[in-house]
Structure 1
Amino acid sequence: MGVAADIGRSLTQGPRPVIREQLSHGPNEARAMAFLMMGCGLIFVAQWPRLMRTAQIEGDDFTRLAAYALLGWLIIWPLVFYGIAGLTYGLSRLLRSRATPFGTRLALFWSWLATSPLGLLTGILAGFTGGSALTNVIGALWIAVFAAFWWLSHREAAQAPQAHGV
């Protein structure tokens, strides 16, 4: 299935069947990194309404703000996600999990991409309403759904056949 259809399936049916299917294709670091970069790219785009609002209200330069957001979301955050995946794998090994390093990365990266539509909604609301209560509620919902997807995906990765070592 296509990535957009898999995101829809994850949001409607939960992430476990999708991550199970992704793991069945075997380890492919390029695919996992593509999921991470697509998720970070979507969240970068989600920042544009908020950045435009900030530029207009504070008289700041939108191009400069967007350049900083680009640096953050497409260079720094992917490195942070790889670090989080490494720490998660180390912790899961201490807890005697059977998750592989690739399965741990894929679970985190897919969860980020699958919940990016909620990040887009949060960004749109931040652009229209600023830091309103509604923006904060949707942002909190996004983080909660991401955490739940990550937990469920990681559990699925730990239960997957161990032929996907890398």
Structure 2
Amino acid sequence: MGLVADILATYAGPRRVIRRQLAAGAREDRALMHLMLGCALVFIAQWPRLMRVAAEPGAPPFEALIGGALLAWLFIAPLGLYLLAGLSHALARLAGGKGTAFGARVALFWALLAAAPLWLVHGLARGYFGAAPVTQALGAIGLGVFLLFWFLGLIEAEAAEATETAQTAGDATRR
């Protein structure tokens, strides 16, 4: 499936999409692409809000705000998300998980990318309405969907069957 089709399919069955991605084998390049694309979309979602902030009297210029958001989302957040994926894998192992660190990364990075359309809508609403209750509700929905996708993906990634499937697929691609 294509990327957009997979994102849409995640809203119908997140575990099925993660299972399919893990079955494709351990592809760190694909995981990194999902992470960077998700971070880039969240960065873009910040633009309307930052334009609104920059228009206020005494606010820093838009270029400074956008530069800070760029640094945060495209340089710092990916490192933090790699650490968070490692921590979630370690906690899952303590709870009896049988997956790999790669599976935990796929679950987190895919959750970020799959929830990105909601962050784009939230960012647009923040730019238009400001910090209104509707934008708070949209933000809560986006965060909830992200956490749900991550949790369900992590469950799938830490299952013994997912690990065996990913290892079998990885062995087949190396031959």
TM-score category, normalised to shorter length: over 0.9
Residue 65 (structure 2) pairs with residue 65 (structure 1): yes
Residue 27 (structure 2) pairs with residue 25 (structure 1): no
Residue 164 (structure 2) pairs with residue 162 (structure 1): yes
Secondary structure at 1:162 match in 2:
helix
Q: Which ranges of structure 2 fall in alignment gaps of 5 or more residues?
A: 171-175
State the superposition RMSD in angstroms.
1.4
Partner of 1:34: 33
Partner of 2:173: none
Q: Quick check: 1:86–1:101 contact (8 Å CA) kept in 2?
A: yes
Could you tell me how far apart the structure 2 residues matched to 1:147 and 1:75 are? 22
The C-alpha deviation readout for 1:61-86, integer Å capped at 9, x for no partner, is 11111011000000000011001001
Secondary structure at 1:79 match in 2:
helix
Secondary structure at 1:164 match in 2:
helix
Partner of 1:118: 118
Secondary structure at 1:99 match in 2:
coil
* TM-score normalised by structure 1 residue count: 0.95
Partner of 2:102: 102
Partner of 1:47: 46
- State which structure, 1 or 2, has the greater radius of gyration over its C-alpha atoms: 2
Q: Which ranges of structure 1 fall in alignment gaps of 5 or more residues?
A: none
Sequence identity, in percent? 46
Could you tell me how far apart the structure 1 residues matched to 2:13 and 2:51 are? 34
How many residues align structurally? 165
Amino acid at match of 1:3: L
1:162 shift after superposition: 2.5
1:163 shift after superposition: 5.3
* TM-score normalised by structure 2 residue count: 0.90
The C-alpha deviation readout for 1:8-58, integer Å capped at 9, x for no partner, is 1112x1211111111111001110010010000000000000000011123
Secondary structure at 2:56 match in 1:
helix
Amino acid at match of 2:89: Y
Secondary structure at 1:147 match in 2:
helix
